[in-house]
Amino acid sequence: MRIYALILFVLGATLVGAQPADPLRADGETSVISFRLAGSLKYVSVCENLSAGNSYIVYRSGLPSRIELEYPKDKSASWRSFEYAFYLRGGGAENAGLDLNYLTFFNGDWEYVIYEEYFADTGATNVGIRLVNEKEGKELDLPALGSSVQGSLGPLRDDERVPKGEIPNY
Protein backbone atom coordinates (compact mmCIF):
# COMPACT_ATOMS: atom_id res chain seq x y z
CA MET A 1 0.00 0.00 0.00
CA ARG A 2 2.87 2.36 0.80
CA ILE A 3 4.35 1.90 -2.66
CA TYR A 4 1.07 3.06 -4.24
CA ALA A 5 1.00 6.13 -2.00
CA LEU A 6 4.60 6.91 -3.01
CA ILE A 7 3.78 6.52 -6.71
CA LEU A 8 0.76 8.82 -6.37
CA PHE A 9 2.86 11.38 -4.51
CA VAL A 10 5.59 11.38 -7.17
CA LEU A 11 3.06 11.60 -10.01
CA GLY A 12 1.26 14.46 -8.27
CA ALA A 13 4.49 16.38 -7.68
CA THR A 14 5.49 15.88 -11.30
CA LEU A 15 2.16 17.14 -12.60
CA VAL A 16 2.23 20.22 -10.35
CA GLY A 17 5.66 21.22 -11.70
CA ALA A 18 4.90 20.40 -15.32
CA GLN A 19 4.44 23.11 -17.92
CA PRO A 20 0.87 23.44 -19.15
CA ALA A 21 0.06 22.72 -22.76
CA ASP A 22 -0.10 25.78 -25.00
CA PRO A 23 -3.01 27.69 -23.43
CA LEU A 24 -3.71 29.68 -26.62
CA ARG A 25 -3.93 26.67 -28.97
CA ALA A 26 -7.40 25.95 -30.34
CA ASP A 27 -8.89 22.50 -30.88
CA GLY A 28 -7.49 20.82 -33.99
CA GLU A 29 -4.27 22.84 -33.93
CA THR A 30 -0.69 21.96 -33.09
CA SER A 31 1.78 24.40 -31.61
CA VAL A 32 4.75 25.46 -33.70
CA ILE A 33 6.18 27.47 -30.80
CA SER A 34 4.67 28.87 -27.64
CA PHE A 35 6.00 30.60 -24.54
CA ARG A 36 5.06 32.79 -21.64
CA LEU A 37 6.59 36.25 -21.62
CA ALA A 38 9.15 36.82 -18.85
CA GLY A 39 7.73 38.81 -15.96
CA SER A 40 4.18 38.45 -17.26
CA LEU A 41 1.20 36.11 -17.28
CA LYS A 42 0.80 36.63 -21.04
CA TYR A 43 1.62 34.03 -23.67
CA VAL A 44 2.72 34.09 -27.30
CA SER A 45 1.76 31.21 -29.55
CA VAL A 46 2.15 30.24 -33.19
CA CYS A 47 -0.14 27.36 -34.12
CA GLU A 48 -1.00 25.51 -37.27
CA ASN A 49 -3.91 23.47 -38.47
CA LEU A 50 -2.90 20.97 -41.11
CA SER A 51 -6.27 19.42 -41.87
CA ALA A 52 -7.01 19.01 -45.57
CA GLY A 53 -8.89 21.95 -47.02
CA ASN A 54 -8.42 24.02 -43.86
CA SER A 55 -4.66 24.38 -43.48
CA TYR A 56 -3.53 27.58 -41.76
CA ILE A 57 -0.95 29.16 -39.46
CA VAL A 58 -1.93 31.69 -36.80
CA TYR A 59 -0.29 33.91 -34.20
CA ARG A 60 -1.97 34.58 -30.86
CA SER A 61 -0.96 36.55 -27.80
CA GLY A 62 -2.58 37.36 -24.50
CA LEU A 63 -3.82 35.64 -21.39
CA PRO A 64 -5.22 32.09 -21.46
CA SER A 65 -8.60 33.59 -20.57
CA ARG A 66 -8.42 36.47 -23.09
CA ILE A 67 -6.63 36.51 -26.43
CA GLU A 68 -5.51 40.08 -27.15
CA LEU A 69 -4.29 39.58 -30.73
CA GLU A 70 -4.97 36.88 -33.27
CA TYR A 71 -3.25 37.27 -36.64
CA PRO A 72 -4.36 36.93 -39.34
CA LYS A 73 -8.10 37.25 -38.90
CA ASP A 74 -8.72 35.64 -42.30
CA LYS A 75 -6.92 32.30 -42.18
CA SER A 76 -7.58 31.38 -45.83
CA ALA A 77 -4.27 32.92 -46.99
CA SER A 78 -2.49 32.81 -43.65
CA TRP A 79 0.69 31.08 -44.82
CA ARG A 80 1.46 34.06 -47.08
CA SER A 81 0.84 36.49 -44.20
CA PHE A 82 4.12 35.48 -42.53
CA GLU A 83 7.77 35.45 -43.58
CA TYR A 84 10.38 33.06 -42.21
CA ALA A 85 14.14 33.66 -42.18
CA PHE A 86 17.02 31.69 -40.76
CA TYR A 87 20.79 31.56 -40.61
CA LEU A 88 22.72 28.45 -39.68
CA ARG A 89 26.47 28.32 -39.04
CA GLY A 90 27.78 25.01 -37.79
CA GLY A 91 31.09 24.23 -36.19
CA GLY A 92 30.12 24.43 -32.55
CA ALA A 93 31.65 26.80 -30.04
CA GLU A 94 35.04 26.80 -31.84
CA ASN A 95 33.38 28.41 -34.87
CA ALA A 96 30.88 30.52 -32.90
CA GLY A 97 28.09 28.40 -34.35
CA LEU A 98 24.66 29.97 -34.74
CA ASP A 99 21.12 28.80 -35.37
CA LEU A 100 18.95 31.88 -35.87
CA ASN A 101 15.23 31.59 -36.68
CA TYR A 102 12.71 34.40 -37.22
CA LEU A 103 9.02 34.49 -38.09
CA THR A 104 7.79 37.96 -39.07
CA PHE A 105 4.47 39.60 -39.83
CA PHE A 106 3.06 43.13 -39.95
CA ASN A 107 0.00 44.33 -38.08
CA GLY A 108 -0.76 47.98 -38.75
CA ASP A 109 2.43 50.02 -38.26
CA TRP A 110 4.03 47.30 -36.14
CA GLU A 111 6.39 44.59 -37.29
CA TYR A 112 6.25 41.47 -35.10
CA VAL A 113 9.36 39.27 -35.07
CA ILE A 114 9.18 36.01 -33.15
CA TYR A 115 12.76 34.91 -32.62
CA GLU A 116 14.60 31.78 -31.57
CA GLU A 117 18.39 32.25 -31.46
CA TYR A 118 21.04 29.75 -30.39
CA PHE A 119 24.68 30.76 -29.85
CA ALA A 120 27.09 27.82 -29.61
CA ASP A 121 29.95 29.83 -28.08
CA THR A 122 27.89 30.62 -24.98
CA GLY A 123 25.31 27.84 -25.20
CA ALA A 124 22.60 30.50 -24.85
CA THR A 125 19.20 30.22 -26.49
CA ASN A 126 17.12 33.38 -26.70
CA VAL A 127 13.41 33.20 -27.49
CA GLY A 128 10.91 36.02 -27.54
CA ILE A 129 9.21 38.59 -29.69
CA ARG A 130 10.36 41.99 -30.93
CA LEU A 131 7.84 44.65 -31.83
CA VAL A 132 9.14 47.38 -34.12
CA ASN A 133 7.37 50.55 -35.23
CA GLU A 134 9.76 52.36 -37.57
CA LYS A 135 7.25 55.17 -38.11
CA GLU A 136 7.36 56.10 -34.42
CA GLY A 137 10.93 54.94 -33.82
CA LYS A 138 9.86 52.42 -31.19
CA GLU A 139 11.17 48.94 -30.50
CA LEU A 140 10.14 46.53 -27.75
CA ASP A 141 11.92 43.29 -26.94
CA LEU A 142 9.78 40.87 -24.95
CA PRO A 143 11.84 37.81 -23.99
CA ALA A 144 10.29 34.46 -23.16
CA LEU A 145 10.37 32.86 -19.77
CA GLY A 146 12.95 30.21 -20.68
CA SER A 147 11.31 27.33 -18.85
CA SER A 148 8.01 27.94 -20.66
CA VAL A 149 9.24 27.56 -24.25
CA GLN A 150 7.61 24.70 -26.13
CA GLY A 151 8.27 23.82 -29.76
CA SER A 152 10.57 25.52 -32.26
CA LEU A 153 10.53 27.71 -35.35
CA GLY A 154 13.08 25.35 -36.97
CA PRO A 155 10.54 23.09 -38.73
CA LEU A 156 9.37 26.10 -40.79
CA ARG A 157 12.78 26.05 -42.49
CA ASP A 158 11.63 23.38 -44.94
CA ASP A 159 7.98 24.43 -45.13
CA GLU A 160 7.35 25.78 -48.62
CA ARG A 161 4.03 27.37 -47.62
CA VAL A 162 5.80 30.11 -45.63
CA PRO A 163 7.65 32.66 -47.79
CA LYS A 164 11.34 32.98 -46.98
CA GLY A 165 12.86 36.37 -46.26
CA GLU A 166 15.90 38.18 -44.93
CA ILE A 167 17.26 38.05 -41.38
CA PRO A 168 15.88 41.05 -39.45
CA ASN A 169 18.46 43.79 -38.87
CA TYR A 170 18.19 44.38 -35.10
d(Cα 2, Cα 107) in Å, to the nearest integer?
A: 57
CB-based burial label for 54 (10 Å; 0-12, 13-18, 19+): exposed
Task: Yes or no: say if 97 and 121 are a contact pair by the CB < 8 Å rule.
Answer: yes
Q: What was the pLDDT predicted at 50? A: 86
Q: What is the pLDDT along the chain (170 residues), one digit of tens a residue?
A: 444 333 333 333 333 344 458 999 999 999 999 999 999 999 999 999 988 778 999 999 999 999 999 999 999 899 999 999 999 998 888 888 999 999 999 999 999 999 999 999 999 999 999 999 999 999 999 999 999 999 999 999 999 999 999 998 87
